[in-house]
Chain A
């Protein structure tokens, strides 16, 4: 197991359920990319999730940001002249739980308990991504996940991300594609859409 360092930390959980968790980023706009593998810890169980959504909103739900850049020359200048902005806004991201690790064993199915609030969320390193993606069992969870983004987009993004952890991304994608072809054997159009996004 790769040692987790502080710099890999991307956020803190603010909402959690058995199937997914939502984390707030420590820095504005610092949410991990769509489809990336993240993890959090609940006592001795490590939970893995795949980022399906990221959003930046106002801290107070009823108060919408207003346009401020009319007299500014650049976008950065907006934040510079109103430094309070970065404290009034927040970035958060959601992740679908796709597996967990207990002891030395990696399981590609849901953990017994959901993540804990205020649990730290880390971005998985390449070796960990590679290890996790040895099995494609998580694809079944993604295919059946009820998330606001389309499953096609999410699966394609996740596989694209994971392929970068492998020496031969093409072989990895073909293998993943074959797994999808079996999962989606009756839905050729959906399969075609995902495959089209893998390139």
Chain B
């Protein structure tokens, strides 16, 4: 039996209801972010505490305070002359009417009547709202002061693009890794991860410098590690499945647009790329690099009406790219085809960048591969719709430093902007990881289904993450009070209401065991047992 907290005394749907605490309940036991249920006359409401305050019935009490050393007077006044209040934002109705019984928790459209009793939410209430772990839901963490599991509906999650935000060092990578494990186990989607700091494939490091296992070690049969830097992978003793090489002839003019900022290209230089491509065809990069300061080249520039300084600017840029060791005039194997092959088999692909953590390399490779893969997916999807056959497996592409791809200047041109906007039409969605969400185009942000955010303290970042969310100011105070580690606020499509979680443990042998056993391993064991029984 849960202990009653108090009664609703006033409130509004927009600002939440005010609850007067009973005399026996101490305000000090209340905490922002905690869950309560309100027993309305016809419905039960599920809400979150967003503010705690003190009140007195007689203002004289504040001017001439009573003798607090006398426990009798303090005891009498508690809950009568002096009282605590909490502000509760009701988010959902649980149980009560027929709709909620049949369809589960519903979003609130009204508030409880006067003097409705408020109780702390019980474990079963929280479970009712967030669901329990099953073949679709993945346990990601617990509420702040409860042991109940908070679960994300992953098939629902991957239907849209999602974002993970947070300051550096707040646990974004851990959360991402955990979410990837979840997707690997519970959703029908496959993942392509552009792993800038080589943390998702084989092993990653925790804040304390300890090594933790990553995807390939936990699910060797479901993950393939691709690398751009074979040497680095070998040194780290990572068994890689494929070494990615990219030929100059695979670079298309559209790939250059995104690199304009990092390569310091001028607008005319980017334009010139298209002209050169038209002129030289597939081998335009090599041909452009080969052009020396000769009569021939001057002739060419005249013909294509490219200014000489523009051309030099472009050539310098291309030389920068050319110095990247994984680029070569002609690649021995087609990386895109390889990746797609793996993805088609239901394998998840982690592309490690090794030592090439340079943003130019990351943008070039991520953009180039994604464009091809997305194009393939689009063709397949259209074909599937046309012929009414099986659609391609949903694909989730994970990118880090997302503001470089999705900032307002380039978001409209890059493939990532397109994916984020056109969303699930082609069964390709993004998992965006970033520490400066304010740098991401507002249109892209608004299209994200679920946002998971760790501590943010920059005002602009907080605003951009919470843009368009109802009850923004309440969530803002919750977000700003997150601890810097192991805590995150989740809101959006995959959760019925915003929720602050303490993330699940990651890194101990027990946690690995839990992660691995939570997957489809059990049915396999069951099958084996059945087979054994069959032979007995």
Partner of A191, one of B23, B70, B79, B81: B81
Say yes or no: A198-B72 contact (C-beta < 8 A), given A186-B58, A189-B60: yes
Closest to A174 in B: B75
Asked if B520 lies at the interface with its beta carbon under 8 angstroms from chain A, I say no
Asked if B57 lies at the interface with its beta carbon under 8 angstroms from chain A, I say yes
Say yes or no: A185-B73 contact (C-beta < 8 A), given A178-B23, A192-B66: no
A170 CB contacts on chain B under 8 angstroms: 72
A182 to B20 alpha-carbon distance, docked (Å): 14
A97 to B365 alpha-carbon distance, docked (Å): 93
A169-199: which have CB < 8 Å to B? Answer: 170, 173-174, 177-178, 180-182, 185-189, 191-192, 195, 198-199
B47-64: which have CB < 8 Å to A? Answer: 57-58, 60-61, 64
Partner of A182, one of B66, B75, B80: B80
Q: Is the CB of A188 within 8 A of B60?
A: yes
Q: Is the CB of A195 within 8 A of B60?
A: no
A191 to B57 alpha-carbon distance, docked (Å): 13
Say yes or no: A188-B58 contact (C-beta < 8 A), given A174-B72, A174-B75, A181-B76: yes
Asked if B77 lies at the interface with its beta carbon under 8 angstroms from chain A, I say yes
Closest to A179 in B: B80
Closest to A189 in B: B60
Q: Is the CB of A174 within 8 A of B76?
A: yes
Q: Is the CB of B79 within 8 A of A178?
A: yes
**Shortest beta-carbon distance, B282 to chain A, in Å?**
86
A187 to B61 alpha-carbon distance, docked (Å): 10
A186 CB contacts on chain B under 8 angstroms: 57-58
Q: Is the CB of B61 within 8 A of A178?
A: no
Is chain B's interface secondary structure helix, strand, loop, or mixed overall?
loop
A178 to B73 alpha-carbon distance, docked (Å): 10
Closest to B59 in A: A188
A187 CB contacts on chain B under 8 angstroms: 58
Hey, what's the 0/1 contact readout for A33-55 against B, CB within 8 Å counting as 1?
A: 00000000000000000000000
A98 to B72 alpha-carbon distance, docked (Å): 26
Closest to B63 in A: A188
A198 CB contacts on chain B under 8 angstroms: 72
Q: Is the CB of B76 within 8 A of A195?
A: yes
B1-43: which have CB < 8 Å to A? Answer: 23
What is the interface size of chain B, counting residues whose CB is below 8 A from a CB of the partner?
16
B175-196: which have CB < 8 Å to A? Answer: none
Q: Is the CB of B72 within 8 A of A181?
A: no
A185 to B23 alpha-carbon distance, docked (Å): 15
Say yes or no: A173-B66 contact (C-beta < 8 A), given A178-B80, A181-B77: no
A191 to B66 alpha-carbon distance, docked (Å): 10
A186 to B56 alpha-carbon distance, docked (Å): 10
Closest to B61 in A: A188
B23 CB contacts on chain A under 8 angstroms: 178
**Shortest beta-carbon distance, A174 to chain B, in Å?**
5
B81 CB contacts on chain A under 8 angstroms: 181, 185, 188, 191
B58 CB contacts on chain A under 8 angstroms: 185-188
A185 CB contacts on chain B under 8 angstroms: 57-58, 80-81
A167 to B66 alpha-carbon distance, docked (Å): 28
Hey, what's the 0/1 contact readout for B429-466 against A, CB within 8 Å counting as 1?
A: 00000000000000000000000000000000000000
Q: Is the CB of B80 within 8 A of A181?
A: yes
Q: Is the CB of A195 within 8 A of B57?
A: no
Closest to B60 in A: A188
A181 CB contacts on chain B under 8 angstroms: 57, 76-77, 80-81
Hey, what's the 0/1 contact readout for A137-175 against B, CB within 8 Å counting as 1?
A: 000000000000000000000000000000000100110
Q: Is the CB of A195 within 8 A of B80?
A: no
A101 to B66 alpha-carbon distance, docked (Å): 39
**Shortest beta-carbon distance, A149 to chain B, in Å?**
23
A173 to B73 alpha-carbon distance, docked (Å): 10
A100-140: which have CB < 8 Å to B? Answer: none
**Shortest beta-carbon distance, B75 to chain A, in Å?**
5
B72 CB contacts on chain A under 8 angstroms: 170, 173-174, 177, 195, 198-199
B60 CB contacts on chain A under 8 angstroms: 188-189
B64 CB contacts on chain A under 8 angstroms: 188
B75 CB contacts on chain A under 8 angstroms: 174, 177
**Residue with the greatest number of chain A CB neighbours at <10 A, chosen from B23, B73, B79:** B73
Known: A177-B72, A185-B80, A186-B58. 13 other contacts (CB 8 A): A177-B73, A178-B76, A178-B79, A181-B76, A181-B81, A185-B81, A186-B57, A188-B58, A188-B66, A189-B60, A192-B66, A192-B73, A199-B70
Top 7 A-B pairs, shortest CB-CB distance: A177-B76, A181-B80, A185-B57, A188-B58, A188-B60, A178-B80, A181-B81
- List residues of chain B with CB under 8 Å of any chain A CB: 23, 57-58, 60-61, 64, 66, 70, 72-73, 75-77, 79-81
A-B contact pairs, 12 of them (CB 8 A): A170-B72, A177-B72, A177-B80, A178-B76, A178-B79, A181-B77, A181-B81, A185-B58, A188-B58, A188-B64, A195-B72, A195-B76
- List residues of chain A with CB under 8 Å of any chain B CB: 170, 173-174, 177-178, 180-182, 185-189, 191-192, 195, 198-199
